[in-house]
Amino acid sequence: MDETQRSFLRDLLSVSTPSGFETVGQRRWLSYVSEYADETRTDAYGNAVAVHEGAPDGPSIAITGHGDEIGMMVRAITDEGFLQLSRIGGSDRTVTRGQHVTVHTDDGPVDGVIGQVAIHLRKSDDETYDEIAEQHVDIGVEEGDDARALVDVGDPVTLNTEITELTDGRLAARGMDNRVGTWTAAEAFRRAVETDPDATVYAISTVQEELGLRGAQMVGFELEPDAVVAVDVTHATDHPDSPSVRGSDVELGGGPVVARGSANHPAIVDAVRAVAADSEIDLQLAAAGTRTGTDADAFYTSRGGIPSLNLGIPNRYMHTPVEVVDRDDLDSAAALLAATAVRLDEFAPFGVDL
């Protein structure tokens, strides 16, 4: 990963894009891919698409990630000036207390903190976690009218975290889920376009995945490519607290993860595994016997069924402010998908022999 690619990843991680409020991140993503695309476009909800036009009779592939992240929202403002909260997506109530936050208002950011009762004042035997709806943001005002002058009900709220360079090429930040997916889609697109493939290649950053794969449902209906690879994070289980019975044996630095079963079309699984073997790219495998929980679930049921694959980026501590990924896994995923796009005509059309 060179400095330009690292800078792009940091750009994506530095913005706040809770579901339904993805605009600033989508703009940055489009700015990067537009340099390499024959065309870029967006739809009414902000799904962003970059297109490389291949040969008229060539196959087509969409490489996608979702641009939204989990967050919170102001649901009420008390007369004392505190902001009451609701969740956006699967925010974790166990990690929100005692955190710095930003309220994203129409007039600009407002800083605050999510209050936590001091350990001295809590009951010694009470270690329960309040629901997010029972937590509050303190923005420092003295009464409700002061808060209402700054903040509106419905303003999104995100945790404030730093992007931290750990050792051995690993990064920690909020929102790896799924900026690493949109980074991979953009970077795979760039690398594929450099070879001018016969395939038509789409790079896509979807919206509102965390609310139920909403953006992918829109895009899948509109584009109808021959194949889709949805890049998203997957649980790395190589840390002490991970319950091994709830995940596959996925580790950071072990390479991208190919899911098998449910949405994952066997012909695309075979194609990606073949390209990885030929390119000497390490892969990991994961079982998805019921669903992937990613945009792949929406794409493969679009139209008459679009052959799809979920490619995972190993991620520790998902949906917390300290998600950890390995840059080598991102690089490998981008190289793998670019090579797959270039060789797509070797594997298309995708079907099941009966």
Q: Which residues are annotated as a binding site for Zn(2+)?
A: 66, 177, 210, 232, 319
Tell me the β-bridge partners of 64.
Answer: 204, 230
d(CA 227, CA 260): 15
Longest dimension (CA), the chain: 71
Active site residue 134: no
Separation between Cα atoms, residue 73 and residue 87, nearest integer Å: 6
* CA pair distance 110, 66, nearest whole angstrom: 26
257-260 and 284-287: which strand pairing?
A: parallel
User: How many Å from the N-terminal Cα to the C-terminal Cα in the chain?
Assistant: 43
Site of tokens 């997916």: 181
| Residues comprising the chain, all counted | 354
Strand extents, DSSP E, the chain: 39-42, 48-52, 60-66, 71-77, 83-88, 100-105, 108-114, 136-138, 156-159, 164-165, 170-173, 200-206, 227-235, 257-260, 284-287, 308-315, 323-326
- CB-count exposure of residue 290 (10 Å: 0-12, 13-18, 19+): exposed
From 209, 222, 323, 346, active-site residue: 209
User: Which residues carry a binding-site annotation?
Assistant: 66, 177, 210, 232, 319
Catalytically active residues, by annotation? 209
